[in-house]
Amino acid sequence: MAKITLDFQKRLQQHSNHLVILSAILIVLGYLGKYGVNQIWIWNSTMIIASIIGFIPVAIHAYQAIKVKQISIDLLVSIAVIGALFIGEYEESAIVTFLFSFGGFLEKKTLEKTRSSIKELTNMAPSTALSADGEEMGIDEVEIGDKLLVKTGRQIPVDGRIYQGSGYVNEASITGESREIRKEAGTKVFAGSILENGTIYVEAEKVGEDTTFGKIIELVEEAQDTKSPAEKFIDRFAKYYTPAVLVIAAITWVFSHNLELAITILVLGCPGALVIGAPVSNVAGIGNGAKRGVLIKGGDVMNTFSHIDTLLFDKTGTLTKGNTEVVVVKNYGASKELIDAVASAENESDHPLATAVVRMIGKFNPIKFKKTDVVKGQGIIADDLLIGNEKMMVVNHITISPEQKQDITEITDSGASVVLVAADNRLQLIYGIADEIRSGVKESLEELHHEGISRMIMLTGDNETTAKAVAAQLGIDEVRANLMPEEKAEVVKSLKNSGKKIAFIGDGVNDSPSLALANIGIAMGSGTDTAIETSDIVLMKSSFDELVHAYGLSKRTVANMTQNIVIAIVVVLFLLAGLILGGTGLVPSFVNMGTGMFVHEASILIVIVNGMRLIRYREK
C-alpha cells in the first residue's frame, strides 16, 4: 500500500503543472457554464472535479505527514476542502485547492531561483578528466597519484601539483574572484578551476569530495540545512500552532454549528508564510556568500555574526599579505658558516619570517643539527644556535649591546619585524623583515565600524613597536603584542567573559585555538582542511572587502528573516480580524475560504520574493 501511494505521489509530482492547468480550465468552464449558458449542472460538476483533482495531491501529502506524526498545512487544507464539499460550497473548495496547488507551483519556481547560487556552484564540479595520454575518464575513476592532462579551456579535475607545463588558471570557483593566475611546474592547483590558457600535467593529491572544491560544496549544502535561532523557534511554534488551529476550528463548529466558519478558520490559520519565511532568507544569504567565496556555516553562524561587536585580528598574513621580505641586515661578525647554519635551521620552518630569511640568504651549504627545538612565541634553537625574538635572547641570557639595541629600535620603529641570531653566547645577526599591508584594509575597517563593529584589536606575536606602527597605519587603536598562540586564546576568552561578542580573524592554521574559542572564527584566504573545519566562516579570497561583505550580509539576512516573520504574522492577524469584524457586521464581510487562501498564498510569495533580494546584495 505504502509503495503504491509513493509511486502515485511521484507520478502526481511529475504532472503537478498539468494538474494545476487542468484545475484552472475546469474552473473557467464552470464559470462559463453558470454565467455564460446558465447551466448549473456544468457549474457544479466542473467545480467538483476541479476540487477532487486539486485535493488528491494535497491529501497524499497530508497522509505522508500523519504517518510521521505531524499535523501539516496540507491536513488543514484537506479537512477544509472535505468540509466545503460536504456543505455544497463547490466553488470554495475548487478555488482553495487550485490556489493552494498554484501557490505551491510558484513557490517551487521562486525557491529554485533562491537556490540558484548554490546550484551554480554544484554544477561547476568537474565530471570528467583526461589521463596523461589524453584518454577521457569519469571523475570517479581518478585516484590519488594519477597523472592527468589539462588542456586550455578545461576544468582542472583534482587538487594537485603541476609537474609539467604552465598556464593561466581562473580560480573563481574557489575564491569567488574571476582573474587569471600564472601557474607553472611545482605550483598547486585546485579542482573546479579553469585553465584559461596553456597546457599542464597535474599529479592528483586529492580527488572527488576530498578536494577543496568538494569540501566547499559539502559545507554550503550542510549550511543550508543548519537552522538559525528564528527557524528553530518557528519549528517549535508550528509544532503546537497547527494542531491548535485544528482544535479552535473544531470548537467553533461544536459551539456555533457553523461548518463554513470552522473550515474558513482552518484555511486562515495555515502558517505557510511563517514556516517558509526564515529558511528562504537563510538559503539566499548563504548562496550569496558562496558565490563570492564567503563560506558561512549555516543560519546559526549567520545570526551570531550579525551581533558581533568586537573584531580581533592576527597581524601576519591577515592584516598584512604574508609576503615577507628582508629589508635590513645587521652583521656583527657572523661567519659564512653561521649564515649557512641560520639558513639550514630556518629552512625547516614554514613561518613567513623564516621563509624571508632563507629567501634572502639564497644558496647555502646545508648543515645537520643534532637537536632542533621550536620554542612557541620565541623562535628556534638548533644545537647552540638561537634564532628568534628579543624574548628568546633574554630567556637565554644573551647580552645585547647599546649599539645593537639602537639598531633594533630603528628597525622596529619603521614597522619591520626583527629576527635575532645568537651563537657563542652573543648576538651576531639582526634581520629586519617587512610585510606589506593588504590594500584597502584601512577603508574596509572604517566600513566595518560604520556597519556596527565598535572595537578592533590586533593580536600578534610580533614586538610592540612593530605592531603599533602597523596599527597606526590602519587606524586600529588597540594592540596586544608579544603573544604566543595560547595567550591570544586567553585574550579571546577574557573578552568573551566580559560580555563582548567576539570574532577572531586569522589564517586558520596557527590560530586554531583562538578561532575555536571566539563566538565566530573567521579563516581568511585559506582553503585548507584545518581552516574549513575549525572556523565558522571561511573567506577563500584574502580580501577584507569580503569580510565587510560577510558582516553586512549577516545583518541583512537576519533583518530579512525578521521582516518575513512580521509579514506572516500581520497577514494572519489581518485575516482573523477581517473574519471577526465581518461576522459582527462592523465591516462588510470579505474573508472566506477563497480570499483566505488567496491571501495566504500571496503572503508566501511575498516572503520568498523578499528573501530573494538577498541574492543580489552587493552584487558586482
Say how far apart CA 207 and CA 262 lie, in whole Å: 59
Tell me phi and psi for residue 587, to 5 degrees.
Answer: -135, 160
Distance CA(461)–CA(378), nearest Å, equals: 9
- Look-up of cell digits 537576519: 558
Q: Give me 51's grid cell.
A: 476540487
Q: Look up 210 and say whether it is catalytic.
A: no
**Measured between alpha carbons, how far is 351 from 349 in angstroms, rounded to an integer?**
6
- Residue 126's alpha-carbon distances to 121, 181, 209, 222, 523, in angstroms, are 11, 19, 11, 20, 26
β-strands 188-189, 426-434: how paired?
unpaired
Look at residues 102, 81, 101, 100 and name the one whose alpha carbon lies nearest to residue 92.
81
Residue with cell 590558457: 197
CB 565 within 8 A of CB 277: yes
Q: How wide is the angle at C-alpha 223 spanned by C-alphas 220 and 227, nearest 5°?
A: 160
Half-sphere exposure of 178 (CA within 13 A, CB side): 3
Strands (E), 186-272: 188-189, 194-206
Q: Give the number of C-alpha atoms closer than 13 A to the C-alpha of residue 205, restricted to the C-beta side.
A: 14
Residue 168 C-alpha cell reads as: 593561466
CB atoms within 10 A of CB 164: 14
Query: Which amino acid, one-letter code, is at 25?
Result: I
Residue tagged active-site, from 314, 407, 511, 536: 314
Q: The cell 498539468 sits on which residue?
A: 18
Give the torsion sign (CA, 498, 499, 503, 509): positive
From its phi and psi, is residue 178 left (phi > 0), alpha (psi between -120 and 50) or beta?
beta
Grid cell at residue 108: 517551487
* Alpha-carbon torsion (483, 485, 490, 493), positive or negative: positive
Return d(Cα 608, Cα 278) in angstroms, integer: 9
Q: Is 470 exposed, middle or buried (0-12, 13-18, 19+ CB in 10 A)?
A: buried
Q: What residues are labeled active site?
A: 314
